[in-house]
Amino acid sequence: MAIQYATPAAQKIHVLIIGGGIAGLTLAQALRRYGISYTVFERDESPIIRPQGWGISLHSTLITLENHVPPDVYDAICQAQVNPEAGRDEVRGVPYVNLDTGKVEHWVPKSKRLRLRRDQVRLSMTKDCNIKWGKKLITIERIDDNGVRASFEDGTSYTGTLIVGADGAFSAVRRILAPKDWHPRRLPCNAIGTSYFISETKIRKLREEVDPLYFFGTDPKTNTYSFWSMLQQPNGEDGGDGLYKMQLYFSWIHADDDRELKGMSPAEVFRLKGSTMFPTLGAVVDEMPDDALVSYVNLVEWPVVAWGNWDGLAMLAGDSAHCMSIYRGEGVNHGIIDGCVLADALKRAADGIVSPQRAVRDYEVEMRARGKEAVDVSHQACLDAHDYGIISGEGSFALLGAKKV
């Protein structure tokens, strides 16, 4: 029989969440909906200070998310669609393209799926959320069997019942919980990406020939991978009056040949990679304005090793717990599931059914297994994405198979 605690534990739980990315904010909003006390600590000074302008796809996770965050927050997230006209119940597949011919050769199976602007999703999730901005975590410590303290660069510190590190791929919390193994590992490829405004006439052909929203593929000649996505309809934002905003990304397994790229600027490398693509995509690369911000993307993964959880007082979530290659498009989806599963577990603690420490351990068992599998399959997807021969031959479940979350 489940033990009922004499005093409602809800009065006692206060969760310190380090990191206001999508994983930390999902946990925060789900706790808010459950009426459980929490504070988010985010090192950024505000939600808009750092441009994070890429698109993300949310798939079956959407149903879990809708059931956990307050309805107005979920509505605002749906408003962040790159094409709001697609509607919030869209069911779609994602085309895989031969980047030499421009022909769609495979599809990621259809499912409920929204293509969203990441910066807008994050902003939507800050709604009515208890966040302290400008708080860069320096250290955490255990103060007794029931409490933790988090200390920040500005000299402040806060105590809580437990702490959740949702502070991303280079997590400061992970550094403390897994001092020997915290360092993420670099993936074997180089990646470069940008986003820019473009006229309807200039991208119409690409949208009509391939996909109106997004696609990915591999060039059989070079095994260079590319991902293209719409980011924004013409709405006058960011000075893009009457223009569409799009995102384009190239990656390749790093090799000795990369030495010849060394003296080139990111924009020159980007144009070079784009020059081998099928003509319609090549034409879009040619339209890149000279002032577009082209940057290398630091691709890392963390293979979910064991870490200490201070007997259930400290935990990780999102990229901090299981950062993975981006080639299955699952990282943020797992971060959302983490937030929802952990909030459910803490609700059981708040209801006096289990202790907060036991709730954290229950979450950890589910998350570790799910996270490890996702990191492994995403690693394989990264390798397959740069091997057209594999995809056209035996095929790649890792890259093209249905998503679990």
Ligand X SMILES: Cc1cc2nc3c(=O)[nH]c(=O)nc-3n(C[C@H](O)[C@H](O)[C@H](O)COP(=O)(O)OP(=O)(O)OC[C@H]3O[C@@H](n4cnc5c(N)ncnc54)[C@H](O)[C@@H]3O)c2cc1C
Interaction of residue 21 with ligand X, rule CB under 6 A:
yes
Q: Is residue 56 at the binding interface for ligand X, with CB under 6 A as the rule?
A: yes
Binding part of the chain for ligand X, among 7-15, 51-59, 71-79, 341-349 by CB under 6 A, reads: 51-59
Is 274 an interacting residue with respect to ligand X (CB under 6 A)? no
Nearest distance in Å: CB 34, ligand X: 20
User: Per CB under 6 A, which of residues 127..146 are in contact with ligand X?
Assistant: 135-137
For residues 14 and 59, which CB has a smaller minimum distance to ligand X in the complex? 59
**167 lies in the binding site for ligand X (CB under 6 A):** yes
Q: Are 283 and 178 in contact (CB under 8 A)?
A: no
- Cβ neighbours of 92 (radius 10 Å): 20
Residues 69-108 interacting with ligand X (rule: CB under 6 A): none
**Exposure class string for 31-66: b at 16+ Cβ within 10 A, else e:** bbbbebbbbbbbbbeebeeeebbbbbbbbbbbebbe
The minimum distance between CB 240 and ligand X, in angstroms, equals 20
Q: Supply 341's token pair.
A: 């599963």
Smallest gap from Cβ 277 to ligand X, in A, equals 18
Q: Is 168 in the site for ligand X (CB under 6 A)?
A: yes
Q: Give per-residue burial for 127-156: e unless 16+ CB within 10 Å, then b.
A: bebebeeebebeebeeeeeebbebebeeee
In this chain, which stretch among 53-61, 82-90, 178-186, 283-291 interacts with ligand X, using CB under 6 A?
A: 53-61
Q: Is the dihedral of CA 212, 218, 224, 225 positive or negative?
A: positive
Our finding on whether 57 is near ligand X (CB under 6 A) is yes
Residue whose CB is less far from ligand X, 9 or 319: 319
Two tokens at 76? 């605002």
Number of residues assigned to the chain: 405
Amino acid sitting at position 157? S
Q: Which of 312, 317, 304, 309 is nearest to 28 (CA)?
A: 317
* Interacting positions 277-306 with ligand X (CB under 6 A): 297
Write out the residues near ligand X by the rule CB under 6 A: 18-24, 41-44, 54, 56-57, 135-137, 166-168, 172, 193, 297, 318-320, 326, 329-333, 335
